[in-house]
Amino acid sequence: MARHHPRLTGTFARLAGEHRAIARVQDELAALLAAVRVADPARCRTELERMSVELNAHLDDEEERLLPLLAEVPWPPHAPAPADPAASGDSADTVAPPSEPTEPHVNG
């Protein structure tokens, strides 16, 4: 998507940084859950709330920035343009696409 929207290079770089931060939050959450039996319940709730706020803020921002871009993607996707045989110099080796079936000619 970044190749098709070079004007948003900064946005994509920021989102990549946020994805690293989200990975850190996931690691923190896994550690918190692994220690839930011995951890202070109030601390667990506070940390879980902090992580939830951070994750939801990221997802909200991502939706705001990326959904309009995704809406521009044609659906169904367009087939790639056929290669130009003249440009490659291989016109003699080019196979014509199959023709449409025709109804048999009936004399009568």
How do residues 43-64 score in pLDDT, each as one tens digit?
888 888 988 898 899 899 889 9
pLDDT of 107 strictly over 50 = no
CA distance 60 to 64: 6
Residue 77 has pLDDT above 80, yes or no: no
Kindly indicate the confidence band of residue 89, based on its pLDDT and cuts at 50, 70 and 90.
low
* Top-confidence residue, 88 or 33: 33
pTM value is 0.53
Structure tokens at 86: 């003249």
